[in-house]
Structure 1
Amino acid sequence: MRITPPTRWRRIAAAATATAALVFTGLGAASAADARTTVAKVTPKVTWTKACSAPKAGAAACNAKRVTGGTTEYMAEQAARKGVTPAAANAATPSGFGPTDLWSAYGLTSAAASNGSGETIAIVDAYDDPNAEADLATYRSYYGLSACTTANGCFKKVSQTGSTTSLPAGNTGWAEEISLDVDMASAICPKCNILLVEASSASYANLGTAVNRAVTLGAKYVSNSYGGSDSSSDSTYDSLYYNHPGVAVTVSSGDAAYGVEYPASSQYVTAVGGTALTKATSTTRGWTESVWKTSSTEGAGSGCSSYETKPTWQTDTGCTKRIVADVSAVADPATGVSVYDSYGITAGWYTFGGTSVSSPIIASVYALAGTPSTGSYPAKFPYSHAGTSALNDVTTGNNGTCTTSYFCTATTGYDGPTGWGTPEGVTAFAG
């Protein structure tokens, strides 16, 4: 039976109560409202902290996961396989995947070097990260990427009203999300400009207003690494905030394993699932991927919406409504990415996971592919390349149990957790 989102959030809350300590940031009401919990798992490969707490009604939670530790056996295993070795705490140097790893994994080395100039990727998040530009500078400098600053016109931070000076209250949890998002945009499309739009709160109304602001300011690629319950209100939010023809709007599919989140379930967006990404010298590609799943309540989200209309380009017969996801990218914290962050925590390098990683990656791949045609819905683009070499088909793993197998289990061709697969170059993301 499909687990509905409210049930999933109750299960998450129960698990957190039994196994985790609630950590308050102490930086004001906005921070306290988004208190973070460290989730302990049975014999975990890694442990991590959720940047944001479960969402309230009418609001969303960010999907960033910061690694806080790992087993000695796993660290040794990863080192032996020359994969990522997650940092247990802040570090002087990165320990997760960096830009060249991601370019290699997704066939983007040539495109990242040549494409993206003049394109703007918008990152939509809640609250303010006062250190966003400075932390981004550290990330880009370390990896040899060109400077992206307000002064040179590459970076811009605004509120949902478009103001560059009247910004929301700071929030340490969402600041982690912001650092992750802007770093991933930089990693995949280093020549792109970055527009950070900060909503006043995590309500759908404010986040949606921030999406509209990003589009008004000219962004053709808008990443949203947040989500909440799929509900009967979704169609209203769709019409108000997420229906933007000619704009690639990407949304994380969620981190609570099998079950649907909104706005990933919107018919107008590209829903981005999550994988575990591992280096593999035995394959021609040099990498392997499987569905990200850590436990019954932690993994890439997927499933059949109860409310959203099915877009015309989805032709699977098991779900009469919108099915999630469309495509995917790395999200497993155990095979996470490097991020630099300094606001509210010890300044340093951290390893992050969650579908908060995969959404800005895919938005940036769209940017490398070029401006979508006027009136188009970029969510459709990968479907035109389904089953081709333009996408890496993920065929192993699951994110839970379900009555319709492909809703939760990887298979050849389309499946819920990974969609049609992960990028292999930019062809599948061009109009």
Structure 2
Amino acid sequence: MTVSNDLAYAEELDAQDTCAHFRERFLIEDDDLIYMDGNSLGRLPYATVDQSADLVRQQWGSRLIRSWNEGWFTAPERIGAKIASLIGAQADEVIVADSTSVNLFKLVVAALRFQVGRSQIVTDDLNFPSDLYILQGAIDMLDKQHQLQVVPSVDGIDGPVADLRARLDEQTALLTLSHTVFKSGYMYDMAALTSAAHDAGALVLWDLSHSVGAVPVDLNAANVDLAIGCTYKYLNGGPGAPAFLYIRRDLQERLINPLTGWMGQQNLFGFDLKYQPAPGLRRFLTGTPPVVSLSLIEPGVDLLREAGIEQLRAKSLRQSSYLIDLWEAELEPLGFTLKSPREQAYRGSHISLGHAEGLRIDLALINDMHVLPDFRAPDNIRLGITPLYTTYRDIHQTVQRLKHIVVERLYERYPTEAPIVT
């Protein structure tokens, strides 16, 4: 790709962008603020503002408890069905419930109990650490009958595909990975690894938190068993919004939810003292859904469905390639390294740049340059490309401001201690 470093070129690309009008659907109060962290927390859609007003004033304020029969009770399935259309699943294979970690715990324990006689869990060291904490806790709860094999990445960027395949054998109960890696943005070939795991008799669980709403996912085509994902990144569901889980239809009534609760009971208003699981995926609900935060997921999902994930992916790839070319021309000579894959087929929708002064550069970018990225130790500055609202101008200006920080040594104003949230 031939790239011009001029701002005029970036603005020309924006003028040609067929997705550009979706930016107007988000609340953007400060036009000078460049937001490059939609891979961590998505922007607020205007439709969500309207939804929240109706939810509080009308549904809760006027309709009161009647709203349970007017959409609240079925929201986990209704919104789950919409998410299913973004990840290549059937409408009855996705439901919204709990947090990403709780959903992962439920599916991991269910899978391990189902895989009688198999004792190994395989993952990699690129997986989100919280996922590994859940795996460790599940092993402890199941009386340490399972072992966790964490396969290392050679370079900290690319998934160790060959080594993962080599670990799959007759003792493997579960292979679980992040489809798009949270630091580097490396994206696994879902179908190929799922097939390899199935050949060994293992179940597969994918974490889609950095994929859903950003890259095309086809769970059914890959014959995926289980998946989980969050809704507050590319789905723009709001901070701490409930997550979703996927179970392939033929497994739903063969797996047992380890956190049985009222909402997963077959006849929840029969108030029987003995638990009987509800049919289908609803058996993997546990407690009463948080209606307010759950409902606010829907407008962001609707926006993605309207835009079309294939169109958004095409823009994302064009923008990430543009960013990589700008890095090569402007930032590599200043000591920045590329810590994301160059090959598009293995790249999600965020780009990581490394620098020896990464933390302090990140702080200068936020406090002096009016750019919001995020930082992941030891040296990763993550730049999230969210094609619903990220512009080419945003990318160009981010690179120029990074350059300015290093050339003028603005980062020297900042301490080496990281704030609580980076």
Q: TM-score, normalised by structure 2?
A: 0.30
Higher helix share: 2
Computing the radius of gyration over CA atoms, which structure comes out larger, 1 or 2?
2
Q: TM-score, normalised by structure 1?
A: 0.30
More relative contact order in 1 or in 2 (CA 8 Å, sep 6+)?
2
